[in-house]
Amino acid sequence: MTKKERAQGIIEILKKEYPDVKCTLNYETPLQMLIATQLSAQCTDARVNIVTKSLFKKYPDAESFANADYEELCNDIRSTGFYRNKAKNIILCCQRLTEHYCSEIPDSMEELLTLPGTGRKTANLVLGDIFGKPAVVVDTHCIRLSRKTGLTKEEAPEKIEADLKKIIPPDEQLNLCHRFVNHGRLVCTARSPKCEICQIRHLCRTYSHK
């Protein structure tokens, strides 16, 4: 079985298991999606959603974040962890958005990566969920499941992204990554994977070598 065939099998099964998938971060605007994703680094989406409920009312647009008091913003996002670095990046990011992009979120990988606090994972999530472009979001679930199922042997996120782009159809990329999140949380957990109920175990390299 080729990697493409393996990937297609996984896509078809997970489509049935998780028919309706979307980003689990709450947002109403492209800017809110960008900020929420930056806050989600080393933090659960559930915690981020609690924080952003009041955060987005206090800072409704890029200008308000750009002009935010650093210490005050630190306090506002403290519970998401690494809050000092996140606050600094959010302010710098929104300053760049207001100065160079008329407060609009750019729609290319190259431009998104110029925004402080924005790496490829965040950029791909924005490109996929906001702009509907093909995007491979390499988070911890994607890394674990794509390696376990033999879709890649790489460890670096950028190399995993490149491998998956070669074997997953463009229109399936984002949704497969979202389904990996669901499957990684409910079945193929990091500490104690529930292999006995896993619908893709026959396509899993790790399971076949047990």
Catalytic residue among 76, 121, 129, 163: 121
**Whole-number Å distance between alpha carbons of 156 and 205:** 19
- Crossing angle between the packed helical segments 45-58 and 30-39, to the nearest 10 degrees: 130
Q: Are 198 and 14 spatial neighbours (Cβ–Cβ below 8 Å)?
A: no
Determine whether 22 is an active site residue: no
Find the catalytic residue in 45, 61, 107, 139: 139
Look at residues 50, 44, 51, 45 and name the one whose alpha carbon lies nearest to residue 22.
45
Instruction: Take residue 156 and report the two structure tokens written for it.
Output: 């670096």
Q: Are 87 and 70 in contact (CB under 8 A)?
A: yes
Burial class (CB in 10 A: 0-12, 13-18, 19+), 129: buried
- As a whole number of angstroms, the distance between CA 191 and CA 166 comes to 29
Percentages helix, strand, coil for the chain (3-state, rounded to 5) are 65, 0, 35
Give catalytic status of residue 121 as yes or no.
yes
Positions annotated as catalytic residues are 121, 139
